Structure 1
Amino acid sequence: MSKRVVMFLTNDAVSDPRVEKEARALVEAGFEATVLAWDRAGKAAPIEERDGFTIERLGPRAPYGGGVKSLPLFREFWRTAADRAAEIGPDIVHCHDMDTAPAGMRVVKHATGGRPKLVLDMHELYRDSKMVPQRGAIGVVARAIVRMLERRAFPAADVILVANPGTLGYYDALGAGDKVVLVENAPDTRLFAPSAQRPERPFTVGYFGQKRYLEGLLALIEAIRVHSDMAAILAGGGTAAEEIACASADVDRVEVSGRFDYADLPALYTRCDAVYAVYGAVLGNVRTLFPVKVMEAMACALPVVVSAGTWIGEYVEREGIGLAIDGDDPVALSAALIRLKDEPSTAEEMGRRGLAIVEAGLSWQAASARLVEAYRAL
């Protein structure tokens, strides 16, 4: 009999590539998978079948970005999701990010049959992320709550999946290193590949993913505004999506669109000459992040522009796959884009180096094999 997996997620799972890829990999390996997702807007289909796994969307209605004030709504989702999971009767509960851990621990604690295994999937350093207030008294309280949750969840977990190599030391310091399995958000090389030919077009910069870090995207829009031989494509939803759409409305060389299906993403990369992944490096999770779009760009043999003073900035410079800049310096951004545009042979060599790293093992095929191996060992 196949083992049943229930995943918890605090977004609506309409477009969450990591969740989708992991669920698909587990189904292909013989597991049954159900994703219990929080549809805060109440607009997505209540039940969806996708590639062999099921998505069930639950309430309550809630805004994004409510901070500590949203805690009662989180508690309601945790309770509702845990109760639904208990009805399914999972063998394994899989918590996507720290904000779903209470639901998973509740299922484990109240299981009436055998104890389900608990998998924590750390997409980022949640305590130091934009999801948690960072400033003032509210920030102190919010971070303390998350830290308390970590102290409960890490010892209870059977496996801790980690997306970013730059965070491994964090889990070691907390004594959880022996449970950690690295499963990067690496690209599926069956989908992402270099373009055969570059058509005539302005030098085009792509940003594909959640629009959360407003300042970095505004800087890119302004850089495109003043360089008439450049263009940008910004695709994805996120808390800053509306502001980005407004800021770019008078720049016809900046194409802005909303959420997209993961299957449509490879085609977006074929329209680009470089990929942009510059975020404010103040947040701890940004300093340790290995952005998905960087790995996807590498698979497509595209150079990247990233934030200096971060793990990914050091990686990009060390491997020679792009440029690292001060995200607060518009002159540095313009200089980086001009260099990539005016030195196509340099940009192409950066892209080739990135592709070689992917071909050497930085792929979803390799990462998902570690995921499945960890699951089979439970």
Structure 2
Amino acid sequence: MILRSNPVAPDPRVEKEARALVEAGYKVKVVAWDRKGELPRLEETPHGTVERLPIKGNFGSGLANLLPLARFNLALLWYLLKRRSTYDAIHACDFDTVLPALLAGKLLRKQVIYDVFDFYADMLRATPGWLKAIIRKIDLKVMGWVDGVILADEARVDQIRGASPKYLAFIYNSPAIDGPLPLPPEPPPLRIAYVGLLQVERGILQVVELLRQRPEWHLDLAGFGGDEELIKREIAGLPNVRYHGRVPYGKAIELMAEAHVLFATYDPSIPNHRYSSANKLFEAMAIGRPIVVARGTGMDRLVERYGLGFVVEYGRLDELERAFNRVASWNQEERRNFAHKARGIYEAEFSWEKMKRELLDLYQKLD
């Protein structure tokens, strides 16, 4: 049982891990939270059966979402208890699913894997500091009580200092992309893409403001999240910004491959962003596109070490514009050379095949 507090429609990391387990011979069910109650309750997919619990709730609303989250956790616990004979292991994604997983695991003697996509206390946006401190203490304790912990990057060990996991694995947010390298489109115009969580702390509004000033550039924007309506209002009337809403993962990769440059300029003042290991960084590598990231986030060291794009100060439109201008100035040979270099780094260091072996090794240790 893989537990996730979003509808998994899509969720690239959940889908990749679930598919890897299916391919290794495990029977997998994903239990997800459909906060709007608009998606199919049951769905058969290549990564197993997805069952969505339709419990009303919102993204990014802090204490206002506490009661829906409690309902979701109780529903998860009841689900796990009622179906006790149908599974051997629980794979809990993030803190907002791990407590029912741990309780069911202890009561029923099931193995529990805790997959920390983001350290929960550091990602809460509208939650009082005292509550974050309590969550942090509980979270670190839980990491020592489960059977194994997965982190998205070795750098995050510092973020969970004080925890004592029995087993610890590192699985990067690498995409499962192994097809031919998509060659960059011919400019102009410069095409920029962002597909992901729609939150203002991810630098989206700064890029939108830049697009107001540079009408000859084009932005493809897709995803969902707590600031979706705000962002939609900001882009209304901009002819050079195209909003795609929630898209399946294949379409997400297609939108990024049709761009010349991606961005993931997260606000480094948010603790969780200082350890970020975003899907977009590894997707950019796999499809051979440069990426612009903010200094002081978990991605800047990899971008600088391997020459994967550009690092800018968060909120500095002049630096952002300079980075995009650099990409716009490349000729097609330079674009192709960069694409082949980035794809080579992905395949040598960060491919999903390598990450998949880490996941299966962890499960085999616990068998």
- TM-score, normalization: structure 2? 0.93
State which of 122, 133, 141 in structure 2 corresponds to 1:128. 122
Is the 8 Å Cα contact of residues 184 and 336 (structure 2) preserved in structure 1? no
Whole-angstrom distance in 2 between the partners of 1:347 and 1:315: 20
Alignment of 1:178-327 (within 5 A): 179-191=167-179, 193-196=180-183, 198-213=185-200, 216-327=203-314
2:202/2:265 contact within 8 Å kept: no
Cα deviation for residue 305 of structure 1 reads 0.3
Q: Distance in 2 between matches of 1:197 and 1:48?
A: 35
**Cα distance in structure 1, aligned partners of 2:117 and 2:166:** 18
Find the counterpart in structure 1 of residue 137 from structure 2. 148
For 1:24 and 1:215, locate their aligned partners in 2 and report how far apart those are by CA, in whole Å.
29
Deviation at 1:341, TM superposition (A): 0.9
Aligned length: 363
- Aligned AA for 1:147? R
Contact 2:288 2:339 in 1 (8 A): yes
Kindly state the Cα deviation for residue 265 of structure 1 after the two structures are TM-superposed.
2.4
| 2:351 counterpart of 1:363 | yes
1:73 counterpart = 2:68: yes
How high is the sequence identity, in percent, across the aligned residues?
Answer: 27
Compute the TM-score of the two structures, normalised by the length of structure 1: 0.90
| Cα distance per residue 1:95-131 (max 9 Å; x no partner) | 11111111111211322xxx101100011122111x3
> Which stretches of structure 1, 4 residues or more, deviate above 3 A after TM superposition?
343-353
Give the Cα separation in 1 of the matches to 2:47 and 2:284. 28
State whether structure 2 residue 100 is matched by structure 1 residue 97: no
Q: Are 1:47 and 2:35 counterparts? A: no
Are the counterparts in 2 of residues 319 and 353 from structure 1 also a CA contact under 8 Å? Answer: no
Cα distance in structure 1, aligned partners of 2:334 and 2:253: 23
Shift of 1:348: 5.1
1:108-159 per-position Cα deviation (integer Å, ceiling 9, x unaligned)? 1322xxx101100011122111x343xxxx5212212311321331111111
Q: Is the 8 A contact 2:216 2:240 kept in 1?
A: no
Question: 2:154 & 2:317 partners in 1: Cα distance?
Answer: 29
Q: 5+ residue gaps in structure 2?
A: none
Secondary structure in 1 matching 2:299: helix
Q: Paired residue for 1:110, among 107, 110, 131? A: 107
Question: CA RMSD of the aligned region, Å?
Answer: 1.9
1:7 aligns with 2:5: no
| Cα shift readout 1:231-263 (whole Å, capped 9, x = no counterpart) | 111111112222222211222111111111112
- Give, in angstroms, the shift of residue 86 of structure 1: 2.0
Of 72, 75, 83, which aligns to 1:88? 83
Partners of 2:307 and 2:129 lie apart in 1 by 39
- What's the counterpart of residue 17 of structure 1? 12
Measure, in 1, the Cα distance between the counterparts of 2:19 and 2:325: 40
CA contact (8 A) 1:321 1:351 kept: no
- Which SS does the other structure have where 2:74 is aligned? helix
